[in-house]
Amino acid sequence: MAIFDRALVRLLPAVPKPVVQRLSSRYIAGPDLADALRVVRELNAAGKAATIDVLGEEISSADEARAIAGQYHDVLAELDAAGLDAGVSVKLTGLGLELDYELCRDNLEAVVRDASARGRFVRLDMEDSSTTERTLQLYRLLRDEGHANVGVVLQAYMRRTLDDIPGLHDVRLCKGIYIEPHSIAYRDFDEVRKNYVRALETLVAAGARIGIATHDEYLIQQAERIVREAGLNADRYQFQMLLGVRPERGDELVAAGHPLRIYVPFGTQWYEYSIRRLQENPKIAGYVAGDTFRRVLGR
Ligand code: FDA
């Protein structure tokens, strides 16, 4: 990333919220469940499955956590009613992990039971390293209780990731987005890529179901090679991408016969998610400059 872009990435939190909202609109289905359902319907028509994420990691009370869980129950009911090909992804902080572990576990168990009754899948997103252990613990707890419709996420930038693989059945592998200390996470771009490939090979050897979550061309090609060499069927792996990121590449993966799932966030608490996506967009400097230019002209 060029110096100008990097400086802008650091300045993003100072950009006015309406500008952030405008720039990040491609990454978010909209404020309402109806927006998410519309997007999922379009994705399904293009041969892509989806996972719906209710935005809301900034909660501060048990009632808010219960409200997020309630929204997931609504999502599951609506997905069923509409017969759409989609599951859900949950952030445990949104279900109350930082407030009360038991509250989070109860909310999560209820969502997983509901999803199970409807034949739908629940993925536990992985957040910053302060939550890694508890997230894996809750995943294992649910699997031990017999819930086969639960999966977890591993982050290739974490040094612990290879050690976390044994015993996991269903893993989405991503690079990792949170800022972590060097002592526990790789920071170098190539080191993260190398660990991603190593983790992917280890997951294949371990017999796990794998979500290959990346838009990195090098990793996509490495994954295609690993999948081909291991002779994996479509029920053992899928590519996963974020809404609004490299959609044409997603089309190519589908055309090549790979299963693909798109992560579809919706909701009114869009700010944190939007900042993370904008920080990863290599064209962010141009977008911010263009938007500022248009606003100045508009005045
Ligand atoms: P990289 O960031 O190098 O991007 C590769 C290329 O993709 C870029 O060069 C650019 O062309 C394009 N690109 C990437 N981001 C873009 C953007 N925002 N706008 C425009 N173009 C963009 N992380 C985490 O910590 N916990 C989690 O649970 C998840 N869950 C998750 C689910 C799914 C389905 C995906 C795809 C990703 C995640 N992530 C995540 C995020 C992940 O850790 C990572 O931050 C991003 O995927 C970006 O990493 P890439 O592998 O895409 O590479």
Q: State whether residue 179 is helix, strand or coil.
A: coil
Reported pTM = 0.94
List alpha helices for the chain, DSSP H.
Answer: 3-11, 17-23, 33-45, 62-82, 101-117, 132-144, 161-164, 189-206, 217-230, 247-255, 271-280, 284-298
Q: How many CB atoms lie within 10 A of CB 231?
A: 7
Residues 6+ apart with CB under 8 A from 240: 51, 172, 211, 212, 213, 260, 261, 262, 263
Q: Where in the chain is the domain with CATH 3.20.20.220?
A: 31-266
Q: Examine the pLDDT at 199 and tell me if it is beyond 90.
A: yes
Mutate to test the pocket of ligand 1, among 48, 175, 272 (most ligand atoms within 8 A of CB): 175
Q: Please state, for a pLDDT cut of 90, what percent of the chain lies above it.
A: 81
Q: Examine the pLDDT at 62 and tell me if it is beyond 70.
A: yes
Residues 6+ apart with CB under 8 A from 158: 129, 132, 164, 176, 180, 184, 185, 186
In angstroms, the CA 121 to CA 154 distance is: 17
Q: Examine the pLDDT at 23 and tell me if it is beyond 90.
A: no
Pocket of ligand 1 (CB under 6 A): 125-126, 153, 155, 172, 174-178, 213-216, 240-242, 245-246, 263, 277, 280-282
In angstroms, the CA 248 to CA 23 distance is: 19
Amino acid at 218: Y
Closest atom of ligand 1 relative to the 216 alpha carbon = 5
Q: Examine the pLDDT at 58 and tell me if it is beyond 90.
A: no
How confident is the model at residue 195, as a pLDDT? 98
Active site residues: 125, 172
List the one residue out of 211, 210, 286 whose CA is nearest residue 1: 286
Domain 31-266: assigned CATH number: 3.20.20.220
Q: State whether residue 89 is helix, strand or coil.
A: strand
Question: 3 falls in which pLDDT band (50, 70, 90)?
Answer: low
